[in-house]
Chains A and B, each alone.
Chain A
């Protein structure tokens, strides 16, 4: 292993963690993700459970969107990371 240390850089705009809007969307989805006390049923399935599962589908879909549209894979391997975080 290479023991040489270099300081982290904060300009890794290619990573999802560096896009604040991604986490605001996750926060908004997260608030709806938590079960809310909705009464009623659809085909005997409680509405709150259906909404929680529906939100989970949205969260998963957004995860996939972030993976393919936000997370850049230019360079394809570690070679592009000359200015990596450390």
Chain B
């Protein structure tokens, strides 16, 4: 079973989604009325005036995507409690913010940064480095948005009961996002994130409720797994490679996700440092309300449905596990009662909300970076704010058209490159984390470090395909290749960081 079949949604569920879309339009219109000036700061950063609830929910809705619901529960089905690491790496992102947010917020207020590239050029005085980092970030973000769009289509087809094909779902929801985003920019995105974040939060609560209504409770599920020699490993603590992968995950996601451009731009958008601090304090506990619930679902389904690995899709091919675990739970709940049916409608709306909130934030970041980091310096250095804002809107539409086209049909070799987005993005870590605190680092060193990190990461990922080894490596000794690349990257930076100390001695 995948997202598109077997869940018996009626027309009422589609009406529910229609109502949700109408509210999104309303929010977009209201945000448009609120936008006072035609400036980049107003359009891309909501006038740097986000209040606590708005900043918190936009951070929450952006950080926890549809992947949290599908990907995490699927991984927990496969790895059992070993995927509790997701609770820890989502917490690690907030720890990373403790390093980034205080100085970055002050600098962004003082120098009116719009994009991460603004900080890079200000800090390193290098247009080349700004371009390099912008391209890496754009690549990661486009990939991120693409994944959301693809899942959005399948989720929409699922909730429409197969009445509306996935392609129309992608186009329709992309149009909804484009309209409210063009109307109010970041203000629209952040306000819709409040709604989407709330729906997502309620969705997770509904999932917990759904589990509690089942005839197998969680502790029974655990004892079922423990009693089965073939599945007992899902409850065992990780060892050897497993421990190293656990630690690698914490560093990879913790350091990498905190420098996603849309996350950095939310730091810029805070009304005050007080609001920023309060939002991050709430975020420190959100992994317990989201990632942990996804793990509980995955483990529960693993106990109740042990043979999903042998399941076949409607086309006869193997089903992608991560897309299967949640629909199976939903089917169980739907069939249990009328209340269960509407709970699943709520959960699916939450899934759509999670996907849309992540996609719209990424899309806005993409257009801000193309406008501010590429169009403005390369094509129109003298353009005024109104012209740039207009271009930003046009770029948003153009990017969306390309991404929708890719989501609907592209199957080229680029797909292989898309799989390692996070490993590439993490190579930008020294530029931000070290650049904020160490004046010794130059643009040239950072660029060489990124280059070395990229070569190592891509070399390991495609070692087999390039004929350098007998296989491609996603991890070596349990450590993600992106993190190995980052270590090489940091080693390139090390001599310059230690230069003063060496000269002194």
Contact = CB atoms under 8 A, between A and B. Distances in A.
B277 A73 contact: yes
A47 to B, nearest CB: 9
A60 B220 CA distance: 29
Interface residues of B, number: 55
Interface of A: 1-3, 5, 7-8, 10, 12, 14-17, 22, 26, 33-38, 41, 43-46, 48-49, 52-53, 56-57, 59-60, 63-64, 66-68, 71, 73, 75-81, 84-86
B439 to A, nearest CB: 4
B273 A76 contact: yes
Interface of B: 81, 84, 87-88, 91, 94-95, 98-99, 102-103, 105-114, 118, 121-123, 125, 219-220, 222-223, 226, 235-239, 243, 246-247, 250, 272-274, 277, 280-281, 284-285, 287-288, 292, 436-439
B125 A5 contact: yes
Contacts of B121: 1, 3
A44 to B, nearest CB: 4
B103 A15 contact: yes
Nearest to B286: A60
A46 B81 contact: yes
Pairs A-B, 8 closest by C-beta atoms: A78-B109, A81-B106, A8-B439, A48-B237, A15-B102, A73-B273, A78-B110, A44-B219
Contacts of B220: 44
Contact of A1 (B103, B112, B223, B292): B112
B273 A77 contact: yes
Contacts of A10: 437, 439
Mostly helix, strand, loop or mixed at chain B's interface? helix
B254 to A, nearest CB: 11
13 contacts: A1-B112, A8-B437, A12-B103, A34-B247, A52-B84, A56-B287, A63-B94, A67-B280, A67-B281, A79-B110, A84-B107, A86-B107, A86-B123
B237 A45 contact: no
Contacts of A73: 272-274, 277
A56 B439 CA distance: 34
A1 B111 contact: yes
Given A12-B103, A85-B103, A64 B284 contact: yes
A68 B98 CA distance: 11
A77 B275 CA distance: 10
Nearest to A33: B88
B239 A16 contact: no
Contact of B223 (A8, A44, A76): A44
A71 to B, nearest CB: 6
A22 to B, nearest CB: 8
A76 B98 contact: no
A16 B292 CA distance: 27
Contacts of B246: 34-35
B277 A68 contact: yes
B215 to A, nearest CB: 16
A41 B236 CA distance: 11
Contacts of A60: 91, 94, 284-285, 287-288
Contacts of A33: 88, 250
B505 to A, nearest CB: 19
A63 B284 contact: yes
B112 to A, nearest CB: 6
Given A67-B98, A73-B274, A37 B239 contact: yes
